[in-house]
Structure 1
Amino acid sequence: MASDAVLTPVSVARDDIYFLNLRIDPRVKDYMFVGNAWFPIIVCGSYLWFVYKGGPAFMQNRKPYDLRRVIQIHNLFMVVTNIFFFYKFITNSYLANYSLLCQGMTYATDHNSMEIVHYGYWYLMLRILDFLDTVFFVLRKKFDHVSFHHVSHHFCCVFSGHLWVTLGMDGHTLAGLCLNSCIHIFMYFYYFLASLGPKIEKYLWWKKYLTKAQIYQHIFLVLHGLIPVFYDCGYPKFFIYLAVPQGLLGLVLFLNFYVASYSRKRQHANATSAAKANGHTETEDCQRMEQRVMEKEIGLKKDR
């Protein structure tokens, strides 16, 4: 059972043992699933089971489902809801009385703080809904899309998000919520446009910059997250030890994705341009390659 004791702002800020005891934030002790250690284990465990075992087994002898309309509705819903959460987070924090440099945690019960806590809880529920991205991949047999990067990102958001909501989610790391919800607006808007088919593809040139924005997001969150380590503004270091490694993991994975997706494309484009500059085309090169293969096969037959 959760403790009803309310610590003073000073004792909360300076006693990280409070968080290691996993006592819940008094402001959210009546919210469903908050403080229940089994909740993230069951939810995230079920997600991993479906993605890696249950889903592929279910789809083994089935044709891919046509979920285009469902996905479009899902993506539009996520755009609208992330706009809503971004507005709620930014107006009750940095457009109110928050310090962007370093913001402590006081467990205050004023209107702005309670808005952040309330909508932070529902933002966690929204991140659980993100699991549908992977579910759609499995049901459409897009198994190559179910990467470690994709799965670990969704898993960490929910697992650590539940811990934040339980122990206290306002304060310094709210910058992460503001930035994350903003990025998700553009991300799901891109997904919606991409689901409209090839005719829209020429308008999606900005995908590369969306990936860059996600990289910059993680760089900012890591550097910004380290500030309370060197500057005491009353923010518990426990959360820094939780947030920074997760931010570094996300940064490495996004950098790897960027290099794999765009550096190789650039190399291919440069090679193609060089061939064209020498009077060759990709079609001509393919034809020459096929001709060489045929000549080699004919030569082998003659030898026999």
Structure 2
Amino acid sequence: MKSRKPFNLNNVIVLYNIFQVFLSAYLCYLCTQLMLENGLVSKTCLIEKEHTRRGITNEMYYYFIAKTSELLDTVFFVLRKKTSQVTFLHVYHHAMMVIVTWSFLKYEPTYMMIFIRNINSFVHVIMYTYYCLSAFPALKKYLWWKKYITKLQLVSIFQVTSIEFFG
């Protein structure tokens, strides 16, 4: 890309963001359904419930697809020559999310992570909605809530981390 012009991917990015919003919303729906059926923390052995175990595995598979597709964020940054957004933290986060999600899916698709994935998916619905709307120049002046998305991400990370470490 060094000697090339940046690609104009506005239409592709809008479609990508719409896909991410719907995928994240679907994940929220799946997680919420599982939590409504089994509670925030399941009180029974879910291995005995075949349909619940299948639901957990299906949700985990869709979550893996979401995390894998989010790698395109980095590709779009590079193709548009927005290299300032390709930070170590950005690349590390996306790469680790794919690896960790694959590991959970492969070795232990557990119910404990449903609440955490639900929070993450909810944040992604808001985040990708913002990104989609920001692709339209006429709407940029109405998008005052970017700083709140960052705060929401930080709060959700803190909440997820505290749940993982403190139960």
TM-score of the pair, normalised by structure 2: 0.92
Q: Name the aligned partner's letter for residue 148 of structure 2.
A: Y
1:152 match: 92
Runs of 4+ in 1 over 2 A off after TM superposition: 102-110
Is residue 2:8 matched to residue 1:66? yes
Residue type of the alignment partner of 2:125: I
Residues 231-285 of structure 1 show CA distances to partners (whole Å, capped at 9, x for unaligned) of: xxxxxxxxxxxxxxxxxxxxxxxxxxxxxxxxxxxxxxxxxxxxxxxxxxxxxxx
Higher relative contact order (CA 8 A, sep 6+): 2
**Secondary structure, in 3 states, of the residue corresponding to 2:36?**
coil
1:126 — aligned with what?
66
Indicate the residue corresponding to 1:194 in structure 2. Answer: 134
1:143 alignment partner, one of 59, 80, 83: 83
For 2:155, the equivalent position in structure 1 comes to 216
Question: Is 1:84 equivalent to 2:84 in the alignment?
Answer: no
1:24-63, aligned counterparts within 5 Å? 59-63=1-5
Q: 1:181 to 1:62 in 2, by over 3 A?
A: same
The structure with the largest alpha-carbon Rg is 1
Counting only pairs closer than 5 Å after superposition, residues 156-171 of structure 1 correspond to structure 2 as 156-171=96-111
Query: By how many angstroms is 1:76 displaced?
Result: 0.5
Q: Distance in 2 between matches of 1:181 and 1:193?
A: 18
- Structure 1 match to 2:114: 174
Distance of aligned partners of 1:135 and 1:108 in 2 relative to their CA distance in 1, 3 Å threshold: farther
In structure 2, what is the equivalent of residue 98 of structure 1? 39
Extract unaligned runs of 5+ from structure 2.
none
Q: For 2:135 and 2:48, how far apart are their aligned partners in 1?
A: 43
Distance 2:57 2:163 in 1: 21
CA 61–119 in structure 1, closer or farther in 2 if over 3 Å, else same: same
Q: Which has the higher helix share?
A: 2
Q: Provide the rounded CA distance (Å) in 2 between the counterparts of 1:103 and 1:174.
A: 14
* Matched letter for residue 63 of structure 2: Y
Structure 1 unaligned residues grouped into runs of 5+: 1-58, 229-304
Percent identity, aligned pairs only, is: 32
For residues 31-71 of structure 1, the C-alpha deviation after alignment (integer angstroms, 9 at most, x for no partner) is xxxxxxxxxxxxxxxxxxxxxxxxxxxx1221111100000
> How far apart are the structure 1 equivalents of 2:59 and 2:69?
15
Aligned counterparts, 1:259-278, within 5 A: none
Q: What does the per-residue CA deviation read over 1:89-130, in whole Å, with 9 as the maximum and x for residues that have no partner?
A: 1111x2112234x77875344323311211211220221110
SS at match of 1:107: helix
Give, in angstroms, the shift of residue 186 of structure 1: 0.5
**Using the alignment, how far apart are the partners of 2:81 and 2:106 within structure 1?**
36
CA contact (8 A) 1:127 1:154 kept: yes
Report how many aligned residue pairs link the two structures. Answer: 167
Q: Is the 8 Å Cα contact of residues 75 and 192 (structure 1) preserved in structure 2?
A: yes
* Alpha-carbon separation, structure 1, partners of 2:152 and 2:64: 22
State the Cα RMSD in Å: 1.8
- Asked whether 1:206 is paired with 2:145, we answer yes
Letter in structure 2 aligned against 1:115? G
From 19, 31, 56, give the equivalent of 1:116: 56
Counterpart CA distance in 1 for 2:114 and 2:45 is 10
Tell me the TM-score normalised to structure 1 length: 0.52
